[in-house]
Amino acid sequence: MIRRFCFFIILVGSCLANVACEPGRIILDSPTDQPDQMPVITLVNSQENFFILSANCAYSVELDDPDTTWLSLNSDALKGSQAEHFSVGLAAKIEGLTAGAYSTSVRISFHRASDPQQSDYVLLPVLLVVGEDPQVLSQLENGLRQSVFSQALGRTPSNNVFQVGLSISLAGHTIIDILDRTQLQAARDSSRQLASTPQHLDTDQSYELVFPFMALEFLSADLEEDIADVEPNLDAVNMVSYERYRINSGGSFRIIQVNGQELSDPKDWADEKELQAWPMIIGCSNDYAVTQMYVNRAEIAEAAVAEAQAKGYTGYILDVEGSTDNLRRGYYLDFVEHLAEALHQNGFKLMVCQARWSTIAPVADLANTSVDYVGSMDVMHSGWEWRWEQKIPPTYSEIEPERLVWIFSWDFFRGSDGRAEQEAQWAWMQENGYNHNVAGASVFRTPASSPNRYHQIDYYQGFRDYYPVETTDSLDGGQPDPDDDPDSGTDQPDGSVSDGGSASDGSTSDGGTDDDTDDDTDDDPPAQEDCYSSTLKQYVEDGECIQVSYAACSQSRCGWYTCRNGRWYCSEEGACDKTAHENPSCNPRNCYSTTWGSWQEHGGCIQVVYAACGQPSCGWLKCNDGLWNCSQTDDCAGTSLAQDSCQDD
């Protein structure tokens, strides 16, 4: 997908024949052997992007075509004998370019220092889109897959001396690892034996947060497939995170959209399965974006709190990746602290992601903030024990383990060798104490079970073996089932229904009394007992119905129950024999507009200044029971808020 964001967008393919574009050469990623896994780095107009590179051999980075004038590379380490992960910035210069699409490649060359004849290179394609026409963007998005890969299918490192690994970070950034295979052999041999049946487990330790990430449409995934991946493994997880929000370069808090539509929302499903929901917030790391994030920190925090209150989240996972200077790093850390405090004041939590290559948020600096958890991507990289020693021990030592969550990823671990490395890494971390007392573990991204078309690793089984979840009784999130404890008589959270309990008048949990007399005769039918509703805080007669505010009885929200002889049974709206007690909170929900910074009532419309709903700009959205849908002004049933800048002169 091509979006006008300042973070990376991953595309497959290159350009269409009907737009100005010169194809570049593209190789296949050797661990995947699938052409549709090679990312294209996309820039829209004058934005900046970056990718992450590491090499355990001599390398250099340059433009494949030195005559390309519209792209520049920014890094202090474009050449070296080896390098830990660092960012390579790309900046577009569009002065003098006509509207259309332009492509080139970044050449990453590498060789063995002891034998320069052992050399090879990869080409990372870069696409620049100039202009504002969303139809051009849509054409590019839908037509890129086929055209460029026909130029150089099968181009991999030719001598098998080197391994080129590709991965994707949580915010969609490309990570490239270039590894001399011979240097990895000793580490692989010593580590491979650990990939056997887990041993030395702390059997008395369970983990607070164990979960998968869902990328949804942000990385061309599908909500139904994501859910189908998680549901058979609910015993192994206790929360879910998913792409949902972004802070754009101007400092606005918005729901991510793909093709003008908001990302799918798994929140109702998470509620049904009693999983904590921690949606992601991603953002931009260039100087202007970080400054705007800091300047607008109060407004961003207010919008995040409002969304969390409206949706019932447990917390957020914030991921802003990249390199910056000390001034902007301070801005970002101040923003993080402000957001954490605002969320804490309203009963919500915050996890912030880090990687040692992302200098905007060093783990030691995050440890000095009030964030609840730090999610570390330092376990994502391939390289066996040689790499693990570089990344994992320092991260584990720089923050209290109780605040640390490991974020694994299958992108680097494809094929049978990848499965062996991931399993060995888990065992190595366990053996060396790096799982001890940590808050939990996660995997980016679904599908996290096996088999699937991407990898052969069962991350859910890995969670069961190394990160068993805490029992649900100890968790803060999730909605209780009103029928779990029919004798409890305690009020349930969020106005849920209890099956009974002792009342102050001496009645029993099933609606009867303690005075058990024999006054009934065989000629009289037995009395039908009442039910106590903790939603209404009163007894209701047999045959009456109540509506609850949460997901229940196969409804995503606002389920119905009927009282039958002292017990609650699932029902349907309109199926009551007697009074039906509607829940006021189940009226159509209002929508929060981050553009307007206010709530809009159900049926009302707002106008946005950006491209939306098939319009190149100034699209209209209608509030429909808590969700924004594309609309026209004549379709609005309530207030219509128009943008002054969109009005005709």
Which of 115, 147, 110, 124 lies closest to 39, judged by CA?
124
d(C-alpha 614, C-alpha 625), whole Å? 22
Cα dihedral 508, 512, 515, 518 sign: negative
Task: In whole angstroms, give the CA distance from residue 603 to residue 636.
Answer: 6
Task: Provide the phi-psi class of 558: left if phi over 0, else alpha when psi is between -120 and 50, else beta.
Answer: left
**Residue 218 and residue 243 in contact, taking contact as beta carbons nearer than 8 Å:** yes
Tell me if residue 174 falls in helix, strand or coil.
strand
- Residues in Cβ contact with 116 at an 8 Å cutoff, skipping those fewer than 6 apart: 58
- How far apart CA 109 and CA 87 sit, in angstroms, is 16
Map tokens 């229904």 to a residue. 497
**Backbone torsions φ then ψ of 244, nearest 5 degrees:** -145, -50
pLDDT of residue 611: 66
CA dist 639 and 600 (Å) reads 8
Query: 648: number of CA atoms within 13 Å, CB side?
Result: 0
d(CA 112, CA 123): 18
Alpha-carbon gap, residue 126 to 136, rounded angstroms: 17
Residues 6 or more apart whose Cβ sits within 8 Å of residue 30: 156, 157, 163, 164, 165
**From CA 216, how far away is CA 204, in angstroms rounded?**
35
Is the Cβ–Cβ distance between 353 and 389 less than 8 Å?
no
Alpha carbons 567 and 16: distance in angstroms, whole number: 64
Tokens representing residue 388 in the block: 């693990």
Q: Given this model, what pLDDT does residue 342 score?
A: 94
Nearest to 13 by CA among 33, 32, 41: 41
Q: What distance in Å separates the CA atoms of residue 292 and residue 287, rounded to the nearest whole number?
A: 9
List the structure tokens of 502. Answer: 């002792």
Residue type, 111: H
Give, to the nearest 10 degrees, the angle between helix 384-397 and helix 415-431.
Answer: 40
Q: How far apart are alpha carbons 153 and 149 in whole angstroms?
A: 6
* CA atoms of 259 and 613, how far apart (whole Å): 8
Mean pLDDT by 10 residues, the chain (649 residues): 29 26 28 46 81 93 92 92 92 85 87 87 84 53 37 44 83 86 70 54 79 90 93 96 92 87 94 96 90 92 93 96 88 95 95 95 94 96 86 94 96 80 92 94 95 90 93 41 34 34 34 40 65 77 82 69 84 83 78 72 82 76 78 78 76
pLDDT recorded at residue 526: 63
The answer, as to whether pTM is greater than 0.85, is no
| Inter-residue contact 608 to 621 (CB < 8 Å) | yes
Question: How far is it, in rounded angstroms, from Cα 557 to Cα 551?
Answer: 4
Q: Whole-angstrom Cα distance, residue 511 to residue 152?
A: 76
Q: For residue 278, what pLDDT is reported?
A: 98
Q: Compute the distance between CA of residue 350 and CA of residue 366 in angstroms, rounded to an integer.
A: 12
3-class SS of residue 473: helix
The answer to whether residues 84 and 95 touch, using CB atoms and an 8 Å cutoff, is no
Residue identified by tokens 């066996």 is 384
Q: What are phi and psi of 509, to 5 degrees?
A: -65, -20
**Both structure tokens of 377:** 């991507």
302/280 Cα distance (integer angstroms)? 16
Angle 452-455-456 (CA atoms, 0-180°, nearest 5)?
85
Instruction: Give the contacts of 387 (CB within 8 A, at least 6 positions apart).
Output: 187, 381
Under a CB-based contact definition with an 8 Å cutoff, are residues 566 and 513 in contact?
no
* SS3 letters across 351-368: EEEECCCCCCCCHHHHHC
